[in-house]
Amino acid sequence: MNVLLGIGGSDDSIRALERTVSRAKAAGDELTVAILENPESDREPSNIETRVRDTLADAGFDAEVRHVSGDPGPELVDLAESDGYDQVVLGGGQRSPMGKIQLGHIAEFVLLNSPVTVTLVR
């Protein structure tokens, strides 16, 4: 399968990165990691890229890494459709102090607009 992981730097997206890399390695999937500009995240794109490359190196797994500029939700959906991915993977939300799951705005947009299957990692 051809998998597109979107990562904007929030903690849940970092967790999604780690889980998706190990899953793709086990399943023999092709993986592309798209680094997004998430205004809700404090991590800079260059820091995220370092984190992505470290995670791939630790896993001994190869994936394409690309930067996606502009509005992250719509850009990711466009990329998934135009480049023929089978699945989009994103972080599954942060938890409030109470423990309530709160989806990020990127996940909300992609869930409602993606023409391909979307996986949210918990």
Partner 1 sequence: MSPDDSEYPDGTAGSFPEPPVSFADREGRDIEIRPYDEDEFEEVVEMYVDFDPADRAQGIPPATEERVRDWLETLFEGLNVVAWHGDRAVGHATLVPGGNDDHELAIFVHQDYQRAGIGSRLIRALLGHGRANGVGKVWLTVERWNHAAVGLYESVGFETYGAESFEKEMALRL
Among 59, 65, 103, 116, binds partner 1 (CB under 8 A): 103
Phi/psi of residue 53, nearest 5 degrees? -65, -35
Instruction: By CB under 8 A, tell whether 86 contacts partner 1.
Output: no
Instruction: By CB under 8 A, tell whether 100 contacts partner 1.
Output: yes
Cα–Cα distance, 50 to 99 (Å, whole number): 30
Smallest gap, in angstroms, from Cβ of residue 97 to partner 1?
5
Instruction: By CB under 8 A, tell whether 40 contacts partner 1.
Output: yes
Cβ-based nearer residue to partner 1, 3 or 92: 92
Among 108, 110, 113, 118, binds partner 1 (CB under 8 A): 108
Instruction: By CB under 8 A, tell whether 27 contacts partner 1.
Output: no
Size of the site for partner 1 (CB under 8 A): 12
What residues have CB less than 8 Å from 24, skipping those under 6 apart?
A: 3, 30, 31, 61, 63
Dump the DSSP string for 73-120: HHHHHHHHHHTT-SEEEEE--EE-TT--EE--HHHHHHHHH-SSEEEE
Residues in contact with partner 1 by CB under 8 A are 40, 95-103, 105, 108
